[in-house]
């Protein structure tokens, strides 16, 4: 007698994804794992996404996938859509997928197998950064516990994107259910993955790159960020900080490293306003700039220069080193 395999709920927020929807659905249909529950959450798209979703339902169901669809009456943002997905999900595990990315056919199968084998609450894997036709492999460090995962998230060695983690659904629930902050769509995965890591017991890593994050924008990391984006990041971090102080106070000091990592992109800029924001943002964390054991010494020195107000040195580093490295990585 074979044991029943656990249901995996795949949460897919969608907004104006008509152009990539076929590829997204093909990725789901190619998955070697079953059973899957697919939750397509249309955030009031203004193109033909809604119609295309409805047309796709029979094809998905004919392939054995359980399908749930939600069409939002008005645009609410990815955080609201992720919350709706969590409310509708019935699977033992949650996996989040961005419609414009790509995943290997074996991804969910490999993550579930590792979770079941190790009794893990969260499983991550390596991934590819796809930019202008080039794929660069990115590695996640090996960790075994939720505490270790949180430490690496704060130190910056572990990426927190929700599409990098298969998560046991029970972690989201409990006496204090975990949900995203509505309308705060920047830094929402940082907040949620960190909170989940603190609740997790065992954590596992699959050392295979099976997810492709498709980077579409070019230029400086802060080029397309507006003041509202940084405000949303700050609110998500504030929510995380309150949560840790209330339930996991022993981990609170690690947030200083997370704060430094969050504001680091402000130094990869030639805009003086970004430098001013770096200096005013979380000044209490600046005392930790030389203490991250995993950060390259050059990055520590740049942050130290910023804390001392040596902006000419930060700007020179950005122009000479960062632009050269960026061109080397993506040529």
pLDDT tens digits for range 29-72: 999 999 999 999 999 999 999 999 999 999 999 999 999 999 99
Query: Is residue 183 pLDDT above 70, yes or no?
Result: yes
In a shared domain, residues 95 and 157: yes
Relative orientation angle of helices 227-247 and 255-263, to the nearest 10 degrees: 170
In a shared domain, residues 271 and 203: no
| 91 within domain boundaries | yes
In a shared domain, residues 205 and 277: no
Total domains in the fold of the chain: 2
Tell me what pLDDT residue 270 has. 75
Domain extent, residue 106, equals 8-215
Give the rounded percent of residues in the chain with a pLDDT score beyond 70: 93
Q: What is the mean pLDDT of the chain?
A: 92
**Alpha helices, H only, the chain:** 21-29, 49-62, 78-88, 107-118, 146-155, 188-199, 227-247, 255-263, 272-280, 297-307, 311-317, 323-330
CATH (domain of 149): 3.90.550.10
Give tens-digit pLDDT for 72-95. 999 999 999 999 999 999 999 999
| 321 within domain boundaries | yes
In a shared domain, residues 273 and 208: no
Residue 130 CA to residue 212 CA, distance in Å, equals 6
In a shared domain, residues 309 and 260: yes
Q: Say how many residues make up the chain.
A: 331
Mean of pLDDT values over 293-301: 93
| 269 within domain boundaries | yes
In a shared domain, residues 49 and 187: yes
Query: Is residue 269 pLDDT above 90, yes or no?
Result: no
| 221 within domain boundaries | no
Q: How many CA atoms lie within 13 A of 285 on its CB side?
A: 24
In a shared domain, residues 133 and 32: yes
Taking residue 97's Cβ as centre, other Cβ atoms within 10 Å add up to 21
Residue 6 CA to residue 60 CA, distance in Å, equals 19
Query: Is residue 282 pLDDT above 80, yes or no?
Result: yes
């Amino acid at each position: 007698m074979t044991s029943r395999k656990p249901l995996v709920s795949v949460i897919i927020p969608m907004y104006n994804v008509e152009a990539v929807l076929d590829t997204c659905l093909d990725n789901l249909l190619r998955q070697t794992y079953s059973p899957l529950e697919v939750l397509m959450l249309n955030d009031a798209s203004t193109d033909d996404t809604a119609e295309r979703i409805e047309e796709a339902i029979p094809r998905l169901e004919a392939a054995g996938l359980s399908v749930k669809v939600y069409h939002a009456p008005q645009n609410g943002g990815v955080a609201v859509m992720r919350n709706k997905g969590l409310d509708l999900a019935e699977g033992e595990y949650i996996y989040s997928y961005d419609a414009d990315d790509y995943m290997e056919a074996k991804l969910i199968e490999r993550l579930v197998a590792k979770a079941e084998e190790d009794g893990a609450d969260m499983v991550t894997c390596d991934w590819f950064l796809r930019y202008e036709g080039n794929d660069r492999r990115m590695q996640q460090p090996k960790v075994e516990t939720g505490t270790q995962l949180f430490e690496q998230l704060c130190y910056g060695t572990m990426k927190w994107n929700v599409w990098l983690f298969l998560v046991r659904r029970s972690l989201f629930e409990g006496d204090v259910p975990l949900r995203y902050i509505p309308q705060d769509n920047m830094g929402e995965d940082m907040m949620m993955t960190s909170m989940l890591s603190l609740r997790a017991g065992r954590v596992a890593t699959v050392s295979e790159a099976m997810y492709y994050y498709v980077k579409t924008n070019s230029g400086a990391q802060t080029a397309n960020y507006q003041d509202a984006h940084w405000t949303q990041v700050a609110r998500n971090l504030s929510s995380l900080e309150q949560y840790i102080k209330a339930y996991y106070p022993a981990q609170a000091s690690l947030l200083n490293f997370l704060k430094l990592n969050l504001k680091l992109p402000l130094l990869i800029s030639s805009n003086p306003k970004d430098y001013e924001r770096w200096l005013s943002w979380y000044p209490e964390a600046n005392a930790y700039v030389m203490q991250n054991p995993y950060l390259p010494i050059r990055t520590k020195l740049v942050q130290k220069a910023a804390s001392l107000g040596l902006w000419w040195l930060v700007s020179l580093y950005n122009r000479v080193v960062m632009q050269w490295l960026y061109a080397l990585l993506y040529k």
